[in-house]
Structure 1
Amino acid sequence: MLVFSSLYEDKTEWGDRVGWIYGSVTEDVVTGYRMHNRGWRSIYCLTKRDAFRGSAPINLTDRLHQVLRWATGSVEIFFSRNNAFLASKRLNWLQRLAYLNVGIYPFTSLFLIVYCFLPALSLFSGQFIVKNVNATFLIYLLLMTLCLIGLAVLEVRWSEVLLEDWWRNEQFWLISGTSSHLAAVIQGLLKVIAGIEISFTLTAKAVEDADDVYAELYLVKWTSLMIPPIVIGMVNVLAMVVAFSRTIYSVAPQWGKFVGGAFFSFWVLAHLYPFFKGLMGRRRKTPTIVFVWSGLIAITLSLLWVAINPSSGPADSVAGGSNFEFP
């Protein structure tokens, strides 16, 4: 007995000219792009009752892998003929901008990684991120901050979400940007340039409490996507400890300089807080291999930075004091 069937693609203009695009992780985006690229129009329909409902991953690992699939699909779109740069004139500039954003956003992870490590490098070197802090720099910084605050207010007002929900979204944007988005870019570049296909697999772990409906929420499964955010967190914490020790044992401690540098590292760690909370799970246990690999990478990056840019000037000596040498 036939319960349900859909023949909207058969013998219709939609089926002949566009149809549903298969063979892509983000087939909905590709379908929409080709539809708009041919001059078709779409209307956003919001019903009082939910038209469709589905399930979504609730634990940290599955969520990261879901975002990885989406980001991988966007990278594939960027390196395919569905790139908005190659679109026809039928695609208006707002649509072109939207589809460009879909294909480009995973690549912002490269700049985000640099942003997350800059505060730590500043604390390690004893120098501020900007060499000369003048009135022009402070004005630019103030204007950018006001623009970001205004954008956040508009997002909250337009989407009618609570400020706490908006902040959680900002936190996960940094978490996914330094893990899933970065992995998608590496995966896409290796596939396009070298023809190498890699996958960031995870090790499944059985749910211990089957009676608890939220048992999966506390499930911790190892995945290599966890390494970059943990390394970022450990490097920033290590940099704050080093900078604090250097300041407190200095003959002329510059606490203002330390607080200014530590604030940016603390800001990065504040964004990563839900990640570390989810990493611990219900029993506050995390696979040892996570900390081993992350610790080794954090120490290696710290030593590499010291070797490339050894401390000099005020970091090594202070006016009126002596140089201390350790064996």
Structure 2
Amino acid sequence: MGLLQAGLNKFSPMTHGIKFLNPLQAMCYAHCFFRAFWSIPVIIYAFLPQIALINYCPIFPKVSDPWFSLYAFLFLASHGKDFLDHALAGSVFKNWWNSRRMWLILGCSSYPFCILDWFLTSIGMSTFEFNVTSKVSDSELRKRYEKGVFEFGVESPLLLMISVAATVNLFAFLFGVKKVLMDNEMFEELFVQLFIAGFGVVNSWPIYEGMVLRSDKGKMPTKITLKSICIALVICLAFSSAF
């Protein structure tokens, strides 16, 4: 929230800052200040291809289409570049993979809430309260923290959105697999959407663990799990009937 406020005031790096910094430095600052807006493409890719997949509606080029190579190149290049950065910094594969997951989690939770909070503050309405608390207050939590286990133990609206996104991706992937098994000719048309949903499922594995498999205090609250499943079903059924 603080970074977004700094980026959208009169001292923004893209306006005021460009007078004192070279363009590359200004872009680096802007990358930090405006990162909340990453939530827009993340949310679109978390829901739109999946909803289209549930309705068996292709929105990407076929595998045999020359344009498919562009999508494949952009995906591999972006993730490959990020992996190379982590490798050169001495990071291990697990750290890189968790950073990918956190990027998607932030895009569906704190980033959109940040934009909403900034908007409410800008028009003079009351905003969300945020209290900084210790994240390693007991021995069990500290052990999970040191092992790199995701913590979902507190009931929060932030967890609801990521749980809904994870559930929608799972439903869409299962629907897509069913359609491809029933009609092999649809594989080329639905491959990209099926891949995106599958990629979302793989990245959401810690969320599924927290919702279903875990029994420790860091698991997903039961209310959040039930609400997310119900909301995901409503989204899938509503958009399915709309098509």
Q: Percent identity?
A: 20
- What is the RMSD computed on CA atoms of the aligned residues? 3.1
Contact 2:50 2:197 in 1 (8 A): yes
Partner in structure 2 of residue 277 of structure 1: 209
Q: 1:167 aligns with which of 70, 88, 97?
A: 97
Distance across 2 between alignment mates of 1:294 and 1:95: 41
Gap change, CA 1:201 and 1:226, over 3 Å in 2: farther
SS at match of 2:10: coil
Structure 1 partner of 2:170:
237
Deviation at 1:132, TM superposition (A): 5.9
Listed one character per residue, the Cα deviations across residues 169-202 of structure 1 (whole Å, up to 9, x for unaligned) are: 111111111111111111112221x322331669
Q: Which residue of 1 aligns with 2:160?
A: 227
Amino acid at match of 1:166: W
| Whole-Å separation in 1 of the counterparts to 2:40 and 2:194 | 22
Alignment of 1:51-200 (within 5 A): 72-88=1-17, 89-130=19-60, 135-192=65-122, 194-199=123-128
Change (3 A) 1:185 1:164: same
The aligned residue for residue 256 of structure 1 is 187
**Which residues of structure 2 form unaligned runs of 5+?**
146-150
Aligned residue identity for 1:304: A
Letter in 2 for 1:221: V
Asked which structure has the greater RCO (Cα within 8 Å, sep 6+), the reply is: 2
Alpha-carbon distance in 2 for matches of 1:303, 1:293: 15
User: Residues 163 and 216 from structure 1, CA distance in 2 versus in 1: closer, same or farther, beyond 3 angstroms?
Assistant: closer
Letter in 1 for 2:203: H
Task: Give TM-score, length-normalised by structure 2.
Answer: 0.79
Instruction: State the aligned residue count.
Output: 231
The TM-score normalised by the length of structure 1 is: 0.61
State the distance in 1 between where 2:42 and 2:118 align: 18
| Partner residue of 1:293 out of 222, 227, 230 | 227
The 2-side partners of 1:81 and 1:157 are apart by 38
Q: Which residue number in structure 2 is paired with residue 266 of structure 1? A: 198
3-state secondary structure, aligned to 1:220 = coil
Cα 1:211–1:168 change in 2 (3 A) is closer
Q: Return the structure number with greater helix share.
A: 2
Output the CA distance in 2 between the equivalents of 1:219 and 1:113. 20
Who wins on radius of gyration, i.e. which is larger?
Answer: 1
CA distance in 2, matches of 1:151, 1:139: 18
CA contact (8 A) 1:175 1:271 kept: no
1:150 offset after TM fit, Å?
4.1
